[in-house]
Amino acid sequence: MDSLVIGIDVGGTKVAGGLVSMKGRLVSSLTVPTRAAKGFATSFGQVVHLISRLIDRAGGTDRIAGIGLCAPGPLDTKAGIIINAPNIPGWQKVPLAAKLGEEFHLPAKVENDANAAGLAEVLFGAAAGYRHVFYVTVSTGIGTGIIINRRIYHGKNGAAGEGGHVSIDPTSPYRCGCGALGHIEALASGPAMARRARVFLEEEHTTSSHLRDLTHGNPSRITPELIEKAARAGDKVAKKIIEDTGFYLGVWLAGMITLLDPEAIVMGGGVSQIGEPLFKTIRKTILRYTLNPGLAAHTPLLPAKLEKLVGVYGAASLFLPAGEEIEHGY
Amino acid sequence: MDSLVIGIDVGGTKVAGGLVSMKGRLVSSLTVPTRAAKGFATSFGQVVHLISRLIDRAGGTDRIAGIGLCAPGPLDTKAGIIINAPNIPGWQKVPLAAKLGEEFHLPAKVENDANAAGLAEVLFGAAAGYRHVFYVTVSTGIGTGIIINRRIYHGKNGAAGEGGHVSIDPTSPYRCGCGALGHIEALASGPAMARRARVFLEEEHTTSSHLRDLTHGNPSRITPELIEKAARAGDKVAKKIIEDTGFYLGVWLAGMITLLDPEAIVMGGGVSQIGEPLFKTIRKTILRYTLNPGLAAHTPLLPAKLEKLVGVYGAASLFLPAGEEIEHGY
């Protein structure tokens, strides 16, 4: 029987896990709540519980080649340490690879979730066949991963690829969750779209707005999905918000193309579900802001494919032959 | 006797060349005018003439391992083609590696000048001992090179590393030479500094200005050197220009650190000669705009070392063992 890899994706609300074959086929998957608020012992217990169930399904540890785990925030991938996972209390400076190794007597590796997702999209998803890809996920935050030669680029400290925290408007009044001004995450994430909508709804008295109806006049209910729905119904404010968001993402991605010259960009996450209205503005803006529009026009912007299980695939990829972790610094 | 490599650096006004040993020692160097205005036949003739003289000095082609040449602008390094060298009329779509190979019966390679300079600084200069470096040269334009594992990162088309054309202020009124708005080259290059100074001199009626004296009231005489001189003499306008320039460079480099997590940044070019007053503002701004100030504080910003002959070293590096051209895509 073929070996299997366990892939675990730890998020603020749930932990997803799966058994993945050496050829990248998902054999089995499971999800449990993270119970993040209850602290590290509880949430780590959830992860252990999930892994145990997956090992049972596999028929024991003998068939398991390793455990790959991905989580948000900065990690020391070389030492296998979670430095600080936002929204998961207690997941700070945890030597997670070592802890999992002790618990299950299996090799274990950890990775940033966006890096893992980028690798998964290159190995099995939207960018299958490409070698050099810039991966973006736009949802509550903006995560990115740089894939070079089908491998995650880590930089010196394993901190590379945090493209969501590049400022493209340093005098912007909008402060990122990390504290800096004008980071693309503060300008074009889901919460940034909702903030734009609230500003419009609070200030705009002249335009009749589907958005106002959809949220029953309660600006705190605004989500990217509602904005998209309102735009489809012809709401001008909603259309403007999608256009502004696409503009900022386009300026930012123009820079990424100029700098990294990737073969493709893959975009996932909740905000990207808006689809063509958003992608159209992004593509148009990239051509205006990049150095070589001719090259950029041939750099496809692809919607992500794996979505919900992308983290599971990505974490498992850390043990797959084509996705093996690469020399420190790449 | 050891083999030698010929390194050639083609600029708009002069062509510099040198004989470099396999260990990276400069054995001999020469400079001739480019005579760019006279067209390709003349300027290419200058290059051929220079190479012939260097071959003579080496005692014949037998001792020469190869000819490396660097030039500004986009190149197809894989095919050895100069796509478009700005300020050198006729150097468009020239299969230069092949032409040099035919002329001298020697292997030849071409490279973008900022990429070559970055490689040279890593192999022999300010970043000797580092493997992952972001190289910047700030003068008439802003050129950059991404060095990963002591090799030039090329991207898909060989167009990677054009960091000077990343927009960090998309609503800026300042248009880059390439046509886009808010590229760092349009905000912080030598001409951008001079433009800031002219705006001040034309509008500022209240402040007595050393800068005004140094330029004899003629704004077209402003250079970064004069701005630095005026700042040293206490001129507030000149100090403000250096601060603004450092601010933009800092915002931009903060993004590069967040994205690439290099071991060091090397900064060369005429504007960088301003030195500590500029570097201080850059360092301060990086910490404000990067995701991980702790990591950024340990990413040194080093003044370039090789300066005038950096292109010669860089071009020669293309044939040196540690600087061999790497697999397409890196």
Digitized pLDDT (tens) for each residue of chain B, 330 residues in all: 679 999 999 998 999 999 999 888 999 999 999 999 999 999 999 999 999 999 999 999 999 999 999 999 888 888 999 888 888 999 999 999 999 999 999 999 999 999 999 999 999 899 999 999 999 999 999 999 999 999 999 999 888 999 999 999 999 999 998 899 999 999 999 999 999 998 888 876 656 578 888 888 787 889 999 999 999 999 999 999 999 999 999 999 999 999 999 999 999 999 999 999 999 999 999 999 999 999 999 999 999 999 789 999 999 999 987 544 333 332
A180 at interface of B, judged by CB pairs closer than 8 A? yes
The two structure tokens encoding residue B137? 């040269």
Looking at the complex, report in whole angstroms how far the Cα of residue A86 sits from the nearest Cα belonging to chain B: 13
Residues of A within 8 A of B295 (CB-CB) are: 157, 159
Q: Is B17 left (phi over 0), alpha (psi -120 to 50) or beta?
A: beta
Strands A4-10 and A14-21: antiparallel
May I ask the CATH architecture of the domain A4-111+309-323? 2-Layer Sandwich (3.30)
A299 at interface of B, judged by CB pairs closer than 8 A? yes
Report the pLDDT value the prediction gives residue A218, as an integer from 0 to 100.
81
Report the pLDDT value the prediction gives residue A219, as an integer from 0 to 100.
79
Domain boundaries, chain B: 4-111+309-323, 126-304
- Give contacts of B 61-80 with A, CB under 8 A: 74
Mean pLDDT of chain A: 92
- Give contacts of B 208-227 with A, CB under 8 A: none
Given a cut of 80, whether residue A252 has pLDDT beyond it is: yes
Q: Using the beta-carbon criterion (under 8 Å), do A168 and B170 form an inter-chain contact?
A: yes
Rounded-to-integer distance, Cα A176 and Cα B24, Å: 45
Average pLDDT over residues A288-317: 94
Q: Where are the alpha helices (DSSP H) in chain A?
A: 40-58, 96-104, 113-124, 184-188, 190-203, 210-214, 224-232, 236-260, 276-289, 293-297, 310-317
A4-111+309-323 and A126-304, same CATH topology: yes
| Residue % of chain A over a pLDDT of 70 | 95
Closest chain A CA to residue B180: A289
Q: Using the beta-carbon criterion (under 8 Å), do B148 and A329 form an inter-chain contact?
A: yes
pTM for this entry: 0.93
Q: Using the beta-carbon criterion (under 8 Å), do A167 and B329 form an inter-chain contact?
A: no
A174 at interface of B, judged by CB pairs closer than 8 A? no
* Strand, coil or helix: A94: strand
Rounded-to-integer distance, Cα A207 and Cα A138, Å: 28
**DSSP 8-state symbol, B77:** T
Q: Please return the burial class of B276, using the count of CB atoms within 10 Å of its CB with bins 0-12, 13-18 and 19+.
A: exposed
Residues of B within 8 A of A143 (CB-CB) are: none
pLDDT tens digits along A28-87 = 999 999 999 999 999 999 999 999 999 999 999 999 999 999 999 888 888 999 888 888
Q: Which residues lie below 8 Å from residue B242, measured CB to CB, with a gap of 6+?
A: B193, B227, B228, B231, B274, B277, B278, B281
Looking at the complex, report in whole angstroms how far the Cα of residue A150 sits from the nearest Cα belonging to chain B: 11
A162 at interface of B, judged by CB pairs closer than 8 A? yes
Report the pLDDT value the prediction gives residue A2, as an integer from 0 to 100.
74
Q: Give the closest of A155, A169, A295 to B260, CB-based.
A: A155
Among A132-146, A210-224, B193-207, B214-228, name the one with the lowest average pLDDT: B193-207
Place of tokens 């209390």: A89
Report the pLDDT value the prediction gives residue B216, as an integer from 0 to 100.
84
Give B142-176 as a DSSP string. Answer: EEEEEEETTEE---SSS----GGG-BS-TT-SPBP
Q: Where are the alpha helices (DSSP H) in chain B?
A: 40-58, 96-104, 113-124, 184-188, 190-203, 210-214, 224-232, 236-260, 276-289, 293-296, 310-317
B317 at interface of A, judged by CB pairs closer than 8 A? no
Q: Using the beta-carbon criterion (under 8 Å), do A159 and B299 form an inter-chain contact?
A: no
Amino acid found at B214: L
Average pLDDT over residues A282-292: 96
Looking at the complex, report in whole angstroms how far the Cα of residue A190 sits from the nearest Cα belonging to chain B: 19
Report the pLDDT value the prediction gives residue A214, as an integer from 0 to 100.
86
B27 at interface of A, judged by CB pairs closer than 8 A? no
Q: Using the beta-carbon criterion (under 8 Å), do B156 and A288 form an inter-chain contact?
A: no
Fold (CATH) for A126-304: Nucleotidyltransferase; domain 5 (3.30.420)
Helix (H) or strand (E) segment spanning residue A222: none
Report the pLDDT value the prediction gives residue A307, as an integer from 0 to 100.
79
Rounded-to-integer distance, Cα B174 and Cα B161, Å: 22
A37 at interface of B, judged by CB pairs closer than 8 A? no
B158 at interface of A, judged by CB pairs closer than 8 A? yes
